[in-house]
């Protein structure tokens, strides 16, 4: 895949200049060895867990105030990671890390709907190994929409001009999260496309920074 964590470097650096400790994660993409289910998902959790190892090595990080931020497919993983960490506490590093918030930037928050719309040219079926009718358990375990409530504060930012992931997914997910009892804010941006979030000078990034300043402290994990 042509996308990697280097695309997030400029906004990660901007957040660091604003006083956040930022951990820019990579994970196995589709097409890579063991990419997809479950390797990609294991990578996301392992990257978050590694923060505890950094603290043990003497790096000063606030593990009690972690915010997970992700864009597009990474937004799906950000929301999923928050839900997974909530429900899969088994002691050790997991209990030391407290995810307080999750942010999806044009996130693929509903994998069933994304499959129905054939987003990414069928990427969801490749990620999970088939259609929802064939891999129902995987869709249930991987889709943020199916995992509601996440029980963490959430922000979803989505552009109405997004022609890659339609804003309808964000709207539907937000309503479902509220119905499930989650605290969630949806920010819709006009004239904002799918890739604007990667520009530190964009309105999309400004919206993220404003929300983080009001709702987060300590560390961010991207």
What are the residue boundaries of the structural domains of the chain, listed by start? 20-25+33-180+193-221
Q: Is the pLDDT of residue 132 over 60?
A: yes
Q: Is the pLDDT of residue 91 over 50?
A: no
* Banded pLDDT at 219 (limits 50, 70, 90): low
pLDDT tens profile 157-209: 999 999 999 999 999 999 999 999 999 999 999 999 999 999 999 999 999 99
Q: Compute how many other C-beta atoms are within 10 angstroms of the C-beta atom of residue 119.
A: 19
Pick the CATH number of 20-25+33-180+193-221 from 3.30.559.10, 3.30.465.10, 2.60.40.10, 3.40.50.1820: 3.40.50.1820
* Banded pLDDT at 5 (limits 50, 70, 90): confident
pTM, entire model: 0.93
Average pLDDT, the chain: 92
């Amino acid at each position: 895949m042509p996308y990697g964590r280097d695309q997030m470097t400029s906004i990660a650096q901007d957040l660091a200049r604003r006083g956040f400790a930022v951990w820019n994660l990579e994970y196995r993409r589709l097409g890579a060895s063991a990419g997809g289910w479950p390797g990609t998902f294991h990578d996301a959790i392992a990257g978050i867990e590694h923060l505890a190892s950094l603290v043990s090595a003497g790096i000063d990080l606030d593990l009690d105030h972690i915010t997970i931020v992700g864009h597009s497919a990474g937004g799906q993983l950000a929301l999923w990671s928050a839900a997974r960490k909530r429900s899969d506490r088994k002691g050790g590093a997991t209990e030391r890390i407290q995810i307080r918030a999750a942010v999806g930037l044009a996130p693929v928050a509903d994998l069933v709907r994304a499959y129905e719309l054939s987003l990414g040219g069928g990427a969801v079926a490749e990620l999970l190994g088939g259609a929802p009718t064939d891999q129902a358990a995987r869709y249930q375990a991987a889709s943020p929409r199916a995992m509601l409530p996440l029980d963490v504060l959430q922000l979803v930012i989505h552009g109405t001009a997004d022609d890659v992931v339609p804003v309808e997914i964000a709207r539907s997910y937000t309503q479902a999260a509220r119905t499930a009892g989650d605290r969630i804010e949806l920010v819709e941006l006009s004239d904002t496309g799918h890739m604007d979030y990667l520009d530190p000078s964009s309105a999309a990034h400004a919206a993220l920074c404003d929300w983080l300043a009001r709702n987060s402290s300590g560390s961010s994990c991207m």
